[in-house]
Amino acid sequence: QNQLFWFDNHPFAHLKSWNTSGGPIHTLAMRMGRPLKLALSGQEVIWNEGPPNGVVPSGMQIKKVASDGTVTLLAAEQPSCDHHTTDDLIVDANSVYYVTASACSSGLVSSIVKLPMNGSPPVEVVTTSRSIWGLSADVTNLYWVEMDIFTSTFELKRIAKTGGSSQILYTDAIQNGLGPGMSVGNGSIFYSETISTQGGYRIRRVPVSGGGSTILFEKGNGGPVQSIAADSANVYWADNTSIQTI
């Protein structure tokens, strides 16, 4: 689309866009809550948001804005009771996928939710008693990081977007911590791990078919990684001091 999209850093953020070939900045949506993640579906921009900073938590909302400026509320969820729960948002031509967490007082229930674009009600694709730390997808499958804070282990898992049984692709012990989010590109799952209290970290790769984890990059400072993304050729990430790619 040759468009750059961003949220203002403001208690009531505005969603804006700019054509990378030049021209004016356009305001697409105004006075939203605390924006979390953004994704594109054709000419529509979809995002999730929490309540503005300083406001009593009222849950997460998922919204979209059409090319004519019409903003539509797609879903509203109760506040997550697990601070480890990812706010990753996945969008394809037919559905929006996101994660919820509930029932923490009686036993955590984390869910990956599929929200059809045709107006049908949301359905749970996955439920687990562990924290879902990151969510990503390719054309046919969903991938996520499932973390057990009691045993300090995590699993990378996969399930078809159409549902069915999930598969464990990789499991390991959590060392000093995992970076937020994950990304899938060119047949691989990419994620980060913290390796020292001085900000050291690694970028790792696991095949989408499963197997061992490979270290792609290691740095002794500047971490932890704040976000990570991949395409068909490269993986990109932002740490505390720079944006890098390999």
Three-state SS for the chain is CCEEEEECCCCCCCEEEEECCCCCEEEEECCCCEEEEEEEECCEEEEEEECCCCCCCCCEEEEEECCCCCEEEEEEECCCCCCCCCCCCEECCCEEEEEEEECCCCCCEEEEEEEECCCCCCEEEEEECCEEEEEEECCCEEEEEEEECCCCEEEEEEEECCCCCCEEEEEEECCCCECCCCEEECCEEEEEEECCCCCCEEEEEEECCCCCCEEEEEECCCCCCCEEEECCCCEEEECCCCEEEC
pLDDT of residue 67: 82
Question: Which pTM was predicted?
Answer: 0.90
pLDDT digits (tens, 9 = 90+) for 77-104: 887 888 888 999 999 999 999 999 887 7
CA dihedral 46, 121, 138, 245 (to 10 degrees): 30
Looking only at the bridges linking them, the beta strands covering 109-116 and 153-160 are unpaired
Instruction: Give me the amino acid identity at 96.
Output: V
- Among 14-23, 68-77, 170-179, whose mean pLDDT is lowest? 170-179
Q: Average pLDDT of 91-118?
A: 89
Lowest mean pLDDT of 43-47, 67-71, 125-129, 137-141, name the range.
67-71
For the chain, what is the mean pLDDT?
89
Query: Does pLDDT of 1 surpass 70?
Result: no
The percent of residues in the chain predicted with pLDDT above 90, rounded, is 62
> In this structure, are residues 214 and 221 in contact, taking their beta carbons and an 8 Å threshold?
no
Q: What is the pLDDT of residue 81?
A: 80
Opening angle at CA 186, ends 130 and 133, nearest 5: 15
What does the pLDDT read at residue 30? 85
- The predicted pLDDT at position 13 comes to 80
The percentage of residues in the chain with a pLDDT greater than 70, rounded to a whole number, is 96
**In terms of pLDDT, which residue wins out, 63 or 181?**
63
Digit-coded pLDDT (tens) for 17-65: 999 999 999 999 987 788 889 999 888 999 998 877 655 556 889 999 9
What is the structure's pLDDT at 160?
A: 96
